[in-house]
Amino acid sequence: MTKKSFILLLVLSLAFAACGGAEEETVEEPAVVEEAETLDAPATTVAETLDKITFGFIPSAEQADLQDNIKPLMKVLTDGLGIEVEGFVTSDFSGLLVAMGSGQADIGAFNTLGYVNALNVFPTRIEAIAKVVRYGSGSYHANFWTTDASVCDSPPVIGAFENIDGVPQLILGSETESPDVKALQVGWTFGDNGKIPEVRNIDGVDVTVSPGYACEADLNVLRGEKVLFVEEGSTSGYLYPSLQLKNMGIDYQNDITQVFAGSHDGNLSTNSTDELAVLLVLGDGEVSWDDVLITISIDNGTDYECANPGQSSTGYSCKLHWDGTNNTIIKGYNITILESDFDLCNGECWLSYDITVLNSNRSSGGATSIQ
C-alpha cells in the first residue's frame, strides 16, 4: 500500500470464528429442527460428524486472488486433520455471516465488524478460536491514503505512525530499513532475517516497491471530495473512518462523495486503471525512459507525475505503458497514459500533459478531451 497517508490510528482485530458444538442428544436419528436462539434459550440441535470442513473467507483482497492464496492453507489443514478442508471467498463482507448461518460454512475468517454481527445473530453458536497476528501484533492500524501530497502539513517522509500511549507518533524508516512499527508495512515483506524491501514482478521485470510515505493532514480537506472506501461491511475500511469523520463534525454521507471498491487491495491499487490518452511518438532521435518525466493534470487541477514503464506504480496516480520492447523511446511507438491507484476522471474530463527530457531544455505538451 504506497503512498502518503492521512493518519487514522485505530486498534482493531481480526478473528476467526467457528461454529461451536451444541449439547449432544441420545437419539438414534436426530431430526433437523430450526430453533430460535437466545442467550437464555440456546439451540440444542445435534451437530453432525463432518467428513469435510468448509472454510469461508471475506473478500479482504480481490476475490479471485484470495481464492488462490488460501489454497496452501487448505492443503495444510487437510493434511493435518485428515479431513478435506475446502475454502471459498464470499462476494461481499456480509456474505460470510449468511454462509455460516445457513450451514454453507463451518469455519469463517471474519473481519472485526463481521464477527461482532455474527455473534449478535448467533450468540451461543459462534466462538472465536484464533486471531491473526501481523508483524508481531494482534491489532492493526487503519489509515487514510492520498495521492495528493499537497494536503500534507509537511512533506511526506518514509515512515509510518504508531499509537504510543494513545498518541500517534511518526516512526521514520529509510529506503533500506523499515520503520519499527507494528502496523501495515508499505513496501516491505518478510525475508529469512526479518523485513526486507518488497520486490514485485511487473511485465517480466523485478521492481522494488517504493517504501511507504506518511504525513499529517487535516481531514477537513476531505469536504467536497470523492472518498474511496472498501465497503460498508468493512471495519477499518468504512466503519471507523466514518466514525472519525462524524466525531470531527464531517457528515460522512453528505459532506463527501462515497465510492466503494469492494476489497482492500481494490481500494488501494486496482480501483481504476482507465486508459486516459494515447500519445504517438514523432520526431527523430532516441531518449532513454530514465531521462523522461511525464506529468498530467485533469481539468487544470493538480499536476500528477506518472510512473514510467518498468517502474513500480505504487504511490502514483498515473502510469505509462510503452509499446516498444526496450528502455528507449523511439519514433512510431505509442505511449499510453493509464490511471493508477485513483479514479482521476469519472465522466468527461480535460487532460493536459507535459513531457520533459531531464537535464536538457527539451519539453513538449498538449491537451485532449476524455470521454
58 lies in the same domain as 157: no
Query: What is the predicted pLDDT for the residue at 202?
Result: 67
Q: By CB neighbour count within 10 A (0-12 exposed, 13-18 middle, 19+ buried), where does 136 fall?
A: exposed
263 lies in the same domain as 284: no
Q: What average pLDDT does range 47-65 have in this prediction?
A: 74
93 lies in the same domain as 159: no
Query: What is the predicted pLDDT for the residue at 84?
Result: 94
With a cut of 70, say whether residue 231 has pLDDT above it: yes
- Residue 126: which CATH number? 3.40.190.10
> If pLDDT is split at 50, 70 and 90, which confidence band does 139 have?
confident
**What are the C-alpha distances in Å from 110 to residues 73, 136, 160?**
16, 20, 26
80 lies in the same domain as 100: yes
Query: What is the predicted pLDDT for the residue at 19?
Result: 40
244 lies in the same domain as 300: no
Give the DSSP H/E element, type plus range, for residue 115.
Answer: helix 112-121
- Tell me which residue of 238, 236, 213, 209 sits closest to 307, measured CA to CA: 209
The answer to whether 348 touches 371, Cβ cutoff 8 Å, is: yes
- Residue 341: which CATH number? 2.60.40
The answer to whether 74 touches 105, Cβ cutoff 8 Å, is: no
199 lies in the same domain as 321: no
Query: What is the predicted pLDDT for the residue at 172?
Result: 92
Q: Looking at the 3D structure of the chain, how many domains does it have?
A: 3
Output the pTM of the full model.
0.51
Domain end, chosen from 269, 297, 323, is at: 269
pLDDT, tens digit (0-9, with 9 covering 90-100), for 328-337: 887 778 888 8
- The phi-psi region of residue 112 (left if phi > 0; otherwise alpha if psi is between -120 and 50; otherwise beta) is alpha
Domain interval for residue 300: 274-370
307 lies in the same domain as 356: yes
Q: How many CA atoms lie within 13 A of 357 on its CB side?
A: 11
The answer to whether 193 touches 152, Cβ cutoff 8 Å, is: no
Cβ density class 333-365: b for 16+ within 10 Å, e for less: eebebbbbbbebbeeeeebbbebbbeeeeeeee
pLDDT, tens digit (0-9, with 9 covering 90-100), for 285-328: 778 888 889 998 887 777 888 888 888 877 677 888 887 777 88
> If pLDDT is split at 50, 70 and 90, which confidence band does 261 have?
low
For cell 504525513, the residue is: 215
143 lies in the same domain as 253: yes
346 lies in the same domain as 300: yes
pLDDT, tens digit (0-9, with 9 covering 90-100), for 348-366: 778 888 888 887 777 788 8
Domain end, chosen from 100, 131, 162, is at: 131
145 lies in the same domain as 127: no
Helix and strand totals (H; E) in the chain = 6, 25
261 lies in the same domain as 287: no
pLDDT, tens digit (0-9, with 9 covering 90-100), for 170-229: 899 888 888 888 765 677 877 787 788 888 776 677 878 778 788 899 999 999 888 888
Query: What is the predicted pLDDT for the residue at 83?
Result: 92
Q: What average pLDDT does range 122-126 have in this prediction?
A: 81
Average pLDDT across the chain, whole number: 75
Separation between Cα atoms, residue 126 and residue 19, nearest integer Å: 5
Dihedral of CA atoms 184, 188, 193, 194 in degrees, nearest 10, equals -20
Which amino acid is present at 141? H
301 lies in the same domain as 365: yes
Domain end, chosen from 269, 284, 314, is at: 269
In the 8-state DSSP scheme, what is residue 221?
A: G
Cβ density class 24-46: b for 16+ within 10 Å, e for less: eeeeeeeeeeeeebeeeeeeebb
